[in-house]
Structure 1
Amino acid sequence: MAGEFVARSLEETRFWSRIMKEHSLFLRLGFRCEDTQLINEANQFYSIFEAIENRANAFTLGTDPSVIRRFNEEVHNAVSHIWAFKRKVLGLILSCKLPGGNNFPLLVDHVSREANYFRNRLEDLNMGRMEPLPDAIIDENVFFLRIMADHAKFISHLLDPSERSLVEQANNFSEEFDSLLFQARELDFMRPQSQTVPLLDQFLDQNRVSVKSLRDFKKTARDLIEACRIKSIIHPLLADHVFREAEHFLVIIDLFEASLTGQSAG
């Protein structure tokens, strides 16, 4: 169990600390030139999470669990602060105190939801809490399906309007994932009666197919953006960022499938 705790802690922190670091960059890029205090705060968070990422990568599976538990507490504190920063920024935008900025309110809410998710994961790890598999399958999919739906909307709005085919594809993905999210929430409302192995297995299979399609679309978009072959205001790192989150979701789906059916993930 100690080895599993260390492995899961490092896996979560290595992935999400990089995500938090990149959120800091994306928010900074969306601030106006005169928003110097917000820019400085974003830069500080970038440095904090870059240091956390480096420390997480330096630990090994043989690291003393007590060291990892203290590290998780430090990271939890940093994540709580960046969550508060993101919510502050959202409040400023929604009260029209940052006119002319380029951070969509939904994007700021989106990145704050991811910070809260990461914070909760760290708490669960340190407390030794583990949701029953049927509950975890539904809760994780509800969370990540909403994240994927948001990504499709961001891509659609950040592509140049003249990229009609790609905009249409992104809008179609947005509608598809909104529908999948509604289905997931309906499964949620029907629990515990909905938590049969056949229903959950079908739920995972259906979501996997859609996430793979979106992942492939994101990969194509990323490659085209990096090669300067399409018109957009999407930062190349943002394109790679959303691709990695889709890949992460697929790993989670496969792990759930393996636990549900007793087969090897792969």
Structure 2
Amino acid sequence: MKEHVYFLSLGFTADQTQLIQEARQYVGLFQRIEEQISVYNEKTDPEVIRLLNVQVYQAAVSVWAYKRKVLGLILRCEIVSNNIPLLVDHTSREAAYFAKRLKELNEGKLKPLPEAIIKENVFFLKIMADHSKFIGHLLDPSERKLVDQAREFSNDFDQLLFQAQDLDHMRPQSETVPLLDHFLDQNRVSVVSLREFKKTARDLIEACKIKSNIPTLLADHVFREADHFLHIIDAFDEHLSAQQT
């Protein structure tokens, strides 16, 4: 969340001082929460964790509203900035997802159901497809091979997303575990490939070996999100395996 608003602040024009100031305030807010969490790291008191979740939930809901405000300003042509609408929408979806997960955790909703597994994959497949589009957009057009690779990943994840949405509409029940196993395996293969592409791009950007408008922090950010998606897939896979034993 902190990095999202930092990236947005970089995209505003110099005269959009109010929006820049608000973004910087959110950077400070999430920075303070990060520091607070580092203090709580050794504490496992459920009430302490619940109260922390409430605090972070409120911050996530607030930053979601800020992002939607910015998106509205762009879509109504009230501002022109370097923050493309899909990027702002993308970050707002992640804020909404984060807030929803914190709320579920505090309500004790921990076990993933088949329907929830599919919906989680729908969410992250869309995120991965968006990332591929952003990378292709921000690379210099002269980096033709990398731009083509980004477009291929975008198409691949669009197809996986459509497939996941079809499966979501079919609403498979718990007895369709083999179907979900295949679904997760298929997604894993593509996410591993995309993660390695992102890692290569990040390393090249850091070494100043390719031409782009991508900050190293942004390249690392999208790499970490792909890595996080893989951890989620593995956790779902482990849950489904336990169901079969």
Give the TM interval when normalised to the shorter protein.
over 0.9
* AA in 2 matched with 1:257: D
Q: CA deviation at 1:54?
A: 1.6
2:161 to 163, 181, 199: 181
1:152 to 125, 132, 146: 132
Q: TM-score of the superposition, structure 1-length normalised?
A: 0.89
The answer to whether residue 4 in structure 2 is matched with residue 26 in structure 1 is: no
Query: Does the aligned pair in 1 maintain the 2:114–2:173 contact within 8 Å?
Result: no
Gaps of 5+ in 1: 1-19
* AA in 2 matched with 1:189: H
Query: Does the aligned pair in 2 maintain the 1:187–1:194 contact within 8 Å?
Result: no
- Identify the residue that residue 196 of structure 1 maps to in structure 2: 176
- Identify the residue that residue 209 of structure 2 maps to in structure 1: 229
Query: Does the aligned pair in 2 maintain the 1:163–1:230 contact within 8 Å?
Result: yes
Query: Does the aligned pair in 2 maintain the 1:134–1:195 contact within 8 Å?
Result: no
Q: TM-score of the superposition, structure 2-length normalised?
A: 0.96
Query: Does the aligned pair in 2 maintain the 1:76–1:119 contact within 8 Å?
Result: yes
Q: CA deviation at 1:57?
A: 2.3
CA distance in 2, matches of 1:249, 1:175: 18
Alignment length, in residue pairs? 243
Instruction: State the Cα deviation string for residues 149-203 of structure 1 (Å, max 9, x = none).
Output: 0000000000000100000000000000000000000110111359611100000
2:142 to 154, 162, 167: 162
Query: Does the aligned pair in 2 maintain the 1:160–1:233 contact within 8 Å?
Result: yes
- Computed over aligned residues only, the root mean square deviation of the Cα atoms, in angstroms, reads 1.4
Q: Relative to 1, partners in 2 of residues 1:255 and 1:194: Cα closer, same or farther, differing over 3 Å?
A: closer
Query: Does the aligned pair in 1 maintain the 2:9–2:20 contact within 8 Å?
Result: yes
Q: State the 4+ residue runs in structure 1 displaced beyond 2 angstroms.
A: 60-63, 129-133, 192-195
Query: Does the aligned pair in 1 maintain the 2:143–2:210 contact within 8 Å?
Result: yes
- Identify the residue that residue 124 of structure 1 maps to in structure 2: 104
Q: Relative to 1, partners in 2 of residues 1:132 and 1:215: Cα closer, same or farther, differing over 3 Å?
A: closer
The answer to whether residue 49 in structure 2 is matched with residue 96 in structure 1 is: no
* AA in 1 matched with 2:107: M
Q: Percent identity?
A: 66
Instruction: State the Cα deviation string for residues 53-103 of structure 1 (Å, max 9, x = none).
Output: 12122223543111111111111111111000000000001111112x100
2:52 to 59, 65, 71: 71
Q: Relative to 1, partners in 2 of residues 1:258 and 1:131: Cα closer, same or farther, differing over 3 Å?
A: closer
Q: CA deviation at 1:130?
A: 3.6
CA distance in 1, matches of 2:234, 2:107: 25
- Identify the residue that residue 81 of structure 1 maps to in structure 2: 62
- Identify the residue that residue 230 of structure 2 maps to in structure 1: 250
The answer to whether residue 55 in structure 2 is matched with residue 55 in structure 1 is: no
